[in-house]
Structure 1
Amino acid sequence: MSDSWFRITTDAQILTLTLHVQPNARKTAITGLHGDALKIKIAAAAVDGQANARLLAFLAKEFEVPLRQIKLKQGEHSRHKVVEVQGSSINPITLLSDVHNP
Protein backbone atom coordinates (compact mmCIF):
# COMPACT_ATOMS: atom_id res chain seq x y z
CA MET A 1 0.00 0.00 0.00
CA SER A 2 1.44 3.36 -1.02
CA ASP A 3 1.41 6.23 1.40
CA SER A 4 2.34 8.88 -1.17
CA TRP A 5 -1.06 10.54 -0.65
CA PHE A 6 0.11 12.30 2.51
CA ARG A 7 3.16 14.12 3.84
CA ILE A 8 3.87 15.11 7.43
CA THR A 9 5.99 18.11 8.36
CA THR A 10 6.90 17.28 11.94
CA ASP A 11 8.46 20.59 12.94
CA ALA A 12 5.26 22.50 12.12
CA GLN A 13 2.85 19.59 12.80
CA ILE A 14 1.28 20.00 9.37
CA LEU A 15 -0.18 17.08 7.47
CA THR A 16 -0.61 17.57 3.71
CA LEU A 17 -3.17 15.32 2.02
CA THR A 18 -3.63 14.66 -1.69
CA LEU A 19 -7.28 13.85 -2.33
CA HIS A 20 -9.56 12.71 -5.13
CA VAL A 21 -13.05 13.89 -4.25
CA GLN A 22 -16.31 12.60 -5.72
CA PRO A 23 -19.26 14.92 -5.00
CA ASN A 24 -22.97 14.00 -5.10
CA ALA A 25 -22.47 10.72 -3.25
CA ARG A 26 -25.12 9.02 -1.16
CA LYS A 27 -22.98 9.42 1.96
CA THR A 28 -19.67 10.99 2.89
CA ALA A 29 -16.98 8.36 3.28
CA ILE A 30 -13.39 7.44 2.54
CA THR A 31 -13.43 4.77 -0.16
CA GLY A 32 -9.73 3.94 -0.54
CA LEU A 33 -6.93 5.06 -2.77
CA HIS A 34 -7.22 6.49 -6.27
CA GLY A 35 -3.71 6.45 -7.72
CA ASP A 36 -1.59 8.63 -5.43
CA ALA A 37 -4.61 10.22 -3.76
CA LEU A 38 -7.03 9.31 -1.00
CA LYS A 39 -10.52 8.98 -2.50
CA ILE A 40 -13.38 10.53 -0.56
CA LYS A 41 -17.03 10.52 -1.59
CA ILE A 42 -18.92 13.63 -0.47
CA ALA A 43 -22.68 13.80 0.15
CA ALA A 44 -22.96 17.35 -1.20
CA ALA A 45 -23.23 18.96 -4.59
CA ALA A 46 -20.26 20.67 -6.19
CA VAL A 47 -22.21 23.94 -6.26
CA ASP A 48 -21.38 27.17 -4.44
CA GLY A 49 -18.61 25.46 -2.46
CA GLN A 50 -20.98 22.99 -0.75
CA ALA A 51 -18.82 19.93 -1.45
CA ASN A 52 -15.65 21.72 -0.34
CA ALA A 53 -17.30 22.85 2.91
CA ARG A 54 -18.56 19.33 3.61
CA LEU A 55 -15.12 17.87 2.80
CA LEU A 56 -13.33 20.20 5.23
CA ALA A 57 -15.89 19.54 7.98
CA PHE A 58 -15.52 15.77 7.42
CA LEU A 59 -11.72 15.99 7.61
CA ALA A 60 -11.88 18.10 10.78
CA LYS A 61 -13.98 15.38 12.40
CA GLU A 62 -11.76 12.54 11.16
CA PHE A 63 -8.56 14.25 12.34
CA GLU A 64 -10.16 15.52 15.56
CA VAL A 65 -9.21 19.17 15.05
CA PRO A 66 -11.24 22.38 14.84
CA LEU A 67 -12.36 23.35 11.35
CA ARG A 68 -10.04 26.38 11.43
CA GLN A 69 -7.06 23.97 11.38
CA ILE A 70 -8.09 22.51 7.99
CA LYS A 71 -7.14 24.45 4.85
CA LEU A 72 -7.91 23.78 1.20
CA LYS A 73 -4.58 24.64 -0.48
CA GLN A 74 -5.33 23.56 -4.08
CA GLY A 75 -8.25 22.37 -6.15
CA GLU A 76 -11.17 24.58 -5.17
CA HIS A 77 -12.89 23.80 -8.51
CA SER A 78 -11.37 20.37 -9.15
CA ARG A 79 -11.80 16.80 -7.97
CA HIS A 80 -8.06 16.70 -7.26
CA LYS A 81 -7.40 18.62 -4.05
CA VAL A 82 -4.58 19.31 -1.64
CA VAL A 83 -5.58 19.92 1.97
CA GLU A 84 -3.49 20.84 5.01
CA VAL A 85 -4.35 19.64 8.51
CA GLN A 86 -2.60 21.35 11.38
CA GLY A 87 -2.01 19.92 14.85
CA SER A 88 -3.65 16.50 14.55
CA SER A 89 -2.27 13.47 16.36
CA ILE A 90 -4.25 11.07 14.12
CA ASN A 91 -2.10 8.92 11.84
CA PRO A 92 -3.52 9.28 8.29
CA ILE A 93 -2.99 5.56 7.61
CA THR A 94 -5.76 4.82 10.13
CA LEU A 95 -8.28 6.45 7.76
CA LEU A 96 -7.91 3.43 5.49
CA SER A 97 -8.58 0.89 8.25
CA ASP A 98 -12.36 1.07 7.84
CA VAL A 99 -12.29 0.83 4.03
CA HIS A 100 -13.54 -2.52 2.77
CA ASN A 101 -11.98 -3.75 -0.43
CA PRO A 102 -14.00 -6.46 -2.22
Structure 2
Amino acid sequence: MRVTIRVRPGASRTAVGGRHGDALVVAVQARPVDGAATRAALDAVAEALGIRRREVTLLTGSTSKTKTVEVPDAAASRLADLMREAD
Protein backbone atom coordinates (compact mmCIF):
# COMPACT_ATOMS: atom_id res chain seq x y z
CA MET A 1 0.00 0.00 0.00
CA ARG A 2 1.29 3.47 -0.86
CA VAL A 3 1.21 6.15 1.83
CA THR A 4 2.06 9.84 1.60
CA ILE A 5 3.94 11.19 4.61
CA ARG A 6 4.82 14.76 5.54
CA VAL A 7 8.11 14.97 7.42
CA ARG A 8 8.71 17.69 10.00
CA PRO A 9 12.46 17.64 10.69
CA GLY A 10 14.03 19.24 13.75
CA ALA A 11 11.11 18.43 16.09
CA SER A 12 11.65 18.30 19.83
CA ARG A 13 10.69 14.61 19.79
CA THR A 14 9.89 11.93 17.24
CA ALA A 15 6.15 11.39 16.76
CA VAL A 16 3.92 9.82 14.13
CA GLY A 17 0.29 10.83 13.85
CA GLY A 18 -2.09 13.38 12.50
CA ARG A 19 -2.73 14.74 9.04
CA HIS A 20 -1.29 17.32 6.70
CA GLY A 21 -3.88 17.28 3.94
CA ASP A 22 -3.99 13.62 2.92
CA ALA A 23 -0.53 12.87 4.32
CA LEU A 24 0.48 11.23 7.58
CA VAL A 25 2.58 13.61 9.71
CA VAL A 26 5.96 12.28 10.86
CA ALA A 27 7.91 14.57 13.18
CA VAL A 28 11.57 13.65 13.67
CA GLN A 29 14.40 15.13 15.70
CA ALA A 30 16.92 14.68 12.89
CA ARG A 31 17.82 17.64 10.72
CA PRO A 32 17.44 17.47 6.93
CA VAL A 33 21.15 16.99 6.31
CA ASP A 34 22.52 14.15 4.18
CA GLY A 35 19.22 12.25 4.33
CA ALA A 36 19.18 11.95 8.12
CA ALA A 37 15.59 13.20 8.44
CA THR A 38 14.40 10.80 5.73
CA ARG A 39 16.05 7.81 7.40
CA ALA A 40 14.62 8.84 10.77
CA ALA A 41 11.14 9.26 9.24
CA LEU A 42 11.21 5.79 7.68
CA ASP A 43 12.37 4.30 10.99
CA ALA A 44 9.57 6.14 12.84
CA VAL A 45 6.90 4.97 10.37
CA ALA A 46 8.04 1.36 10.72
CA GLU A 47 8.00 1.54 14.51
CA ALA A 48 4.59 3.25 14.63
CA LEU A 49 3.07 0.65 12.32
CA GLY A 50 4.69 -2.23 14.20
CA ILE A 51 6.57 -3.53 11.15
CA ARG A 52 10.23 -4.07 10.28
CA ARG A 53 12.13 -1.14 8.83
CA ARG A 54 12.89 -3.11 5.66
CA GLU A 55 9.14 -3.32 5.00
CA VAL A 56 8.96 0.48 4.53
CA THR A 57 10.20 1.50 1.09
CA LEU A 58 10.75 5.08 -0.03
CA LEU A 59 9.22 5.54 -3.49
CA THR A 60 9.41 9.31 -4.05
CA GLY A 61 10.54 12.46 -2.27
CA SER A 62 14.02 11.67 -1.02
CA THR A 63 14.83 15.41 -0.73
CA SER A 64 11.30 16.70 -0.11
CA LYS A 65 9.25 17.06 3.07
CA THR A 66 6.44 15.21 1.30
CA LYS A 67 7.32 11.59 0.55
CA THR A 68 5.57 8.51 -0.77
CA VAL A 69 6.37 5.22 0.91
CA GLU A 70 5.21 1.65 0.42
CA VAL A 71 4.11 -0.38 3.44
CA PRO A 72 2.45 -3.81 3.74
CA ASP A 73 -1.33 -3.88 3.28
CA ALA A 74 -1.61 -5.49 6.72
CA ALA A 75 -0.69 -2.13 8.31
CA ALA A 76 -3.82 -0.41 6.95
CA SER A 77 -5.84 -0.41 10.19
CA ARG A 78 -2.95 0.94 12.28
CA LEU A 79 -2.30 3.57 9.61
CA ALA A 80 -5.94 4.70 9.75
CA ASP A 81 -5.64 5.05 13.54
CA LEU A 82 -2.52 7.19 13.21
CA MET A 83 -4.17 9.44 10.63
CA ARG A 84 -7.10 10.06 13.02
CA GLU A 85 -4.95 10.96 16.03
CA ALA A 86 -5.10 14.70 15.35
CA ASP A 87 -8.83 14.74 14.54
Higher relative contact order (CA 8 A, sep 6+): 2
TM-score (norm 1): 0.73
Distance 1:47 1:61 in 2: 22
Report Cα offsets for 1:44-69 as digits up to 9, x if no partner: 11111111111111111112211111
- Structural RMSD (CA): 1.8
Match of 1:46 in 2: 32
Q: Structure 2: any 5+ residue segments left out of the alignment? A: none
Q: What amino acid sits opposite 1:50 in the alignment? A: A
Structure-2 change in CA distance of 1:78 and 1:87 (3 Å):
same
- Equivalents in 1 of 2:21, 2:65: separation in Å? 13
**Is it true that 1:79 corresponds to 2:65 in the alignment?**
yes
State, as a whole percentage, how many aligned pairs show the same letter. Answer: 33
What's the TM-score, normalizing by structure 2?
A: 0.84
Structure 1 runs not aligned, ≥5 long: 1-14
Deviations 1:26-84, CA, capped at 9 Å, x for gaps:
01113521112122211111111111111111111112211111101000000010011
What does 1:1-102 correspond to in 2, within 5 Å?
Answer: 15-86=1-72, 88-89=74-75, 91=77, 92-97=79-84, 99-100=85-86
Moved >3 Å (runs of 4+):
87-90
Structure ranking higher in helix proportion: 2
Highest Rg: 1 or 2? 1
Contact residue 44 and residue 51 of structure 1 kept, 8 A: yes
The letter for the 1-side match of 2:57 is K
Equivalent residues, number = 86
Structure 1 CA distance, aligned partners of 2:62 and 2:40?
13
